[in-house]
């Protein structure tokens, strides 16, 4: 497609900004968000090496 292939194709980083509308302290919200991140399969796949297999039918 005419783009340089010197750099990786993916993003160099991602930032998630959340608004938690709950009766919680900032520390409680941060702990809650950390737990959500720890249990989230999408976060896990983005942070950890996930093998990908390509097939042509």
**Structure-token match 């302290």, residue found:** 25
3-state SS, residue 28: helix
- Quick one: pLDDT at residue 22? 97
Residue ranges of E strands in 1-57: none
Can you give the pLDDT of all 57 residues of the chain as single tens digits? 677 888 888 888 999 999 999 999 999 999 999 999 999 999 999 999 999 999 999
Q: Where in the chain are the domains?
A: 15-57
């Amino acid at each position: 497609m005419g783009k340089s292939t010197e750099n990786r194709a993916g993003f160099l980083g991602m930032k998630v900004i959340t608004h938690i509308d709950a009766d919680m302290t900032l520390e409680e919200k941060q702990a809650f968000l950390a737990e959500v991140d720890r249990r989230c399969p999408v976060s896990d796949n983005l942070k950890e090496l996930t093998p990908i297999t390509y097939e042509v039918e």
